[in-house]
Amino acid sequence: MPGSIYQIEHGKLLNIAPVIDPAGAVVARYRKMFPFRPYEEGVTGGDAFCVLPIAGTGTLGVSICYDLWFPETTRSLVWMGAEVLICPTLTNTVDRNVELAMARATAAGNQCYVVSVNSGAPMGMGRSIVCGPGGEVIHQAGAGYEVFAFDIDFDLVARVRREGWQVLGQPLKSFRDNTVKFPPYQAAAISPGLNDLGPVAKRNSKKPPTRMQS
């Protein structure tokens, strides 16, 4: 995965991460679901998940950058079989430290590897991170350019999901077995906590936010 690129499809601009196999063929193109609005202007979000089973090995899931901020994206990929999340990122803002915490929490909550690869300085803040299925940090890079290798143990993922990290929590089983109908995902759901936030807008926007009607 060489990162992501902007591409126009059917008149819409999308942020797309191609996945290339060892023979050089493009086997998938994942379209970022959550553009970094309001700053990633004019970009349309994708609506399809990308899960890639590798015969005899394991299953990869693909996200891009800001997608990591939305737990529904990773949970859906894991639901579809992903054991490793690959998330190419371009963060050049001060919140990279928040993303590092999210990477660890995402790995622990979904009992999967999380590989959040960020552009190094001067383009980005660097600090790429690889987390294991217990949220443990396998490697965290510095701010600059760095190349590193790591092992993916799919048997470990299976064991952690079956027995719990350090033989403790088994969140995926509990999620699978729960019977709660979560309010945000019901048809025509209205949020008393979110509806009054106004539209997505830059802080210095000259256009004042308008109250959203429920």
pLDDT digits (tens, 9 = 90+) for 117-155: 999 999 999 999 999 999 999 999 999 999 999 999 999
Residue 34 has pLDDT above 90, yes or no: yes
The model's confidence at residue 213, banded by pLDDT at 50, 70 and 90, is: very low
Query: At the fourth CATH level, which superfamily is domain 5-171?
Result: Carbon-nitrogen hydrolase (3.60.110.10)
In this structure, the number of other CB atoms found within 10 A of the CB of residue 105 comes to 15
Of 47, 119, 120, 59, nearest in space to 85 by CA: 59
DSSP, residue by residue, 22-61? TTS-EEEEEEPSS--TTTSTTBPPP---EEEEETTTEEEE
Domain regions of the chain by residue span: 5-171
The model's confidence at residue 113, banded by pLDDT at 50, 70 and 90, is: very high
pLDDT of residue 214: 35
Express as a percent the part of the chain with pLDDT over 90.
91
